[in-house]
Structure 1
């Protein structure tokens, strides 16, 4: 899966890895900035700081090979909600 459309590992980045991980070979850099950051509920492991800022430093979802499916699923659901589509299970 290395460097496919679902996974990209940039070991040359000066910040690599930007989150602590025991498996840097599985660290996905594709979503360097998580597209779900501004979602009120993204499904990730985050805390809201006293300042109101979302702190995602302990979240590795966007940085795993499986994170691609999680992020695309959340984005598709949100776009469907915005368009007013009926849920698939309804």
Structure 2
């Protein structure tokens, strides 16, 4: 029997003692996931699916995105690993 996301403890980690916690504005700090402190989807640029903007100099600003910090974000991020893998593959 497959357990629900909330029962998979490896998918959630909260570090409420971190000096930056929470690093994004949230109304639900008890469910703020720190597992993906640095979002692996950043490298996908405009194909990450998150709520981001580009600021001066073409820098991606993800401060409005909570995908990696929500409990259900784990499955979304894992689903994007194929795209991340393609970015990292060696091309000759």
In structure 2, runs of 5+ residues without a counterpart are 1-5
In structure 1, runs of 5+ residues without a counterpart are 84-90
Per the alignment, do residues 32 and 82 of structure 1 end up closer, same or farther by CA in structure 2, a change over 3 Å counting?
closer
Q: Distance in 2 between matches of 1:8 and 1:81?
A: 27
Aligned to 1:30: 35
1:19-75, Cα deviation, whole Å (9 max, x unpaired)? 000000010000000001010210000001121100000000000001100100011
Give the helix-richer structure, 1 or 2.
2
TM-score using structure 1 length: 0.81
TM-score using structure 2 length: 0.80
For the aligned residue pairs, the C-alpha RMSD in angstroms reads 2.2
Q: Distance in 2 between matches of 1:16 and 1:81?
A: 30
Aligned to 2:20: 15
2:75 is aligned with 1:64: no
Once the two structures are overlaid, the 10-residue window that deviates more, 3-12 or 64-73, is 3-12
